[in-house]
Structure 1
Amino acid sequence: MALPYFLMASLAIFAICAALLLRHQRAITAKIGFICWISLSVYFIIDYLVIQATTTPYNFLEQPMSDLGVTTCGTDTYVLSSLEICSPYHLLMNWTFTFTGIVIFVGAIFLHQFWQDNRKTRIATIFLIIFGFSYTMAGIFPADVNFLWHTLPSIPGMIVQIPALILIALSIRKEMPKLSVWTFICALITTTALILMSLYSFIDLFGLLQRILYGSVYLWMIITAITLWRKKA
């Protein structure tokens, strides 16, 4: 493993260990959790910059996000891809994947304190940790370096956010009804995107649907973090 990817893996391990150790320090972890989830707003700015830097045509409507992290230039760079890919900022994209996953699972652990501590919310938090961890793995293992380790963790990461959002929405519907409705809406959007992605043979918009699938969860986390921060203040 090249040094940058070794550092990504080390940072992810350190982050999950530190988050678990500090999770009971509520005053500190709440602020860190808010900042983590709000920082997700930077993701698509970087996504745009990396796309602009590609030296071969990149169609964000059709091509998966993973193509931006491919480390080599050419065609057939990884299994299931026959398109020509050349992303000079691939390292920036892979660091972004890694950091995105870290801020998701750290935020999920630290902001769990704002939900009722019951079975529903604990399961939801575990699902969000898996969601974030799968994203981190996609950065540590680019598709052309290790397609298996890039892809396998991504599969649960495309599904677990749905039950996570539904469980949170159900658990807060009395105490925070507006946030509950917002959570249900985002769950519906990401579910719809996942269903349409499964029909990619008929709908040639895989890249756009993938961005909606993840982006709707990012937007939920950003708005939720801001709402909880204001409520705490």
Structure 2
Amino acid sequence: MPTAYLVMAVVSIAALTAIFTYRRHRMVAMLGWIGWLLISAYFLVEYVVILNVAAPYDFFHQPMSDLGVTVCGEDAYLLTTNDICSPYHLLINWSFALSGIATIAGALGLRTWWPAGKKVDIALWLLVVHGLSNIAAGLVPADVDFWLHTLGSIPGMVVQIPALLLLGLAIRKSKPLLAWWTFICWVGTTGALILLFYQPEWMSLPGGLLQRVLYATVYLWMGAVALTIWKQQRFSA
């Protein structure tokens, strides 16, 4: 494993260990809140990486993972013929890992903000899986191990769907506006995943854009949760 990715692995393991160990500590709650508030900044990082590619990159049709490929050329990994060259691949892979850590910190650290109940617990642990999936995608680029990258990424494309549905139902009476936003994001991420399944048959579908919608809806939802928490704390002070 290259040194840069070894450092990423060590940092990720250390961060996860601290989050799981001290998940009820106020500091983890604060870090989770900040992480959810800023998580959509991933797309700003992605924009910078796209601006610096050394081979044409199609935002609408190429997957996000192409930006994290560590080599240049065609056939960089299994099942692709794209000409890929992303000099800032380390930056995008760090972004994958950090967004995963932020997701987990928020899911565990902000638990007391949500209603009590087993269904909410299940939903938040599904978000933990979502975060772990993002970390795996960053640690193992597609060209390093295609199957490990792919199998690690797949859960993060699915588990947010039941998680958002369960959380929306849990707060539909106590926080109706946030519940509506949760359902809207649930429809967005679910629709994007369904269309991605049909992409092999309908090659005209913009797979890269759909993948970004799949994640962006979840990140925007997290931002809305963080803003709601901030407003409640601000006005109760």
> Can you list the C-alpha shifts for 1:99-155, whole angstroms capped at 9, x where unaligned?
111111111111111111211111011100000110110010000001111110111
The question of 1:7 aligning with 2:12 is answered: no
1:131·1:156 contact (CA, 8 Å) conserved in 2? yes
Corresponding letter in the other structure for 2:190: T
> Can you list the C-alpha shifts for 1:75-96, whole angstroms capped at 9, x where unaligned?
0000111010000111111111
Q: State the distance in 2 between where 1:139 and 1:32 align.
A: 20
Helix, strand or coil at the partner of 1:168: helix
The question of 1:80 aligning with 2:53 is answered: no
Corresponding letter in the other structure for 2:9: A
Correspondence 1:85-164 to 2 at 5 A: 85-164=84-163
Q: State the distance in 2 between where 1:31 and 1:230 align.
A: 14
Where does structure 1 lack aligned partners over 5 or more consecutive residues?
none
Corresponding letter in the other structure for 1:105: I
Q: State the distance in 1 between where 2:217 and 2:111 align.
A: 20
The question of 1:199 aligning with 2:198 is answered: yes
1:197·1:210 contact (CA, 8 Å) conserved in 2? yes
Deviation at 1:29, TM superposition (A): 3.0
Where does structure 2 lack aligned partners over 5 or more consecutive residues?
none
Q: State the distance in 1 between where 2:229 and 2:183 align.
A: 17
Q: State the distance in 1 between where 2:114 and 2:209 align.
A: 32
Quote the residue 1:211 is aligned against.
212
Quote the residue 1:23 is aligned against.
23
2:32·2:104 contact (CA, 8 Å) conserved in 1? no
Identity of matched residues, %:
48
TM-score by length of 1: 0.97
Q: State the distance in 2 between where 1:178 and 1:23 align.
A: 27
> Can you list the C-alpha shifts for 1:184-232, whole angstroms capped at 9, x where unaligned?
1100000000001111120430000000000000000011111112112
Compute the RMSD of aligned alpha carbons. Answer: 1.0
Helix, strand or coil at the partner of 1:143: coil
TM-score by length of 2: 0.95
Corresponding letter in the other structure for 1:195: I
Q: State the distance in 1 between where 2:29 and 2:136 align.
A: 25
Corresponding letter in the other structure for 1:15: A
> Can you list the C-alpha shifts for 1:4-60, whole angstroms capped at 9, x where unaligned?
1111111221112111221222x3333222101112121111101101101111001
Helix, strand or coil at the partner of 1:198: helix
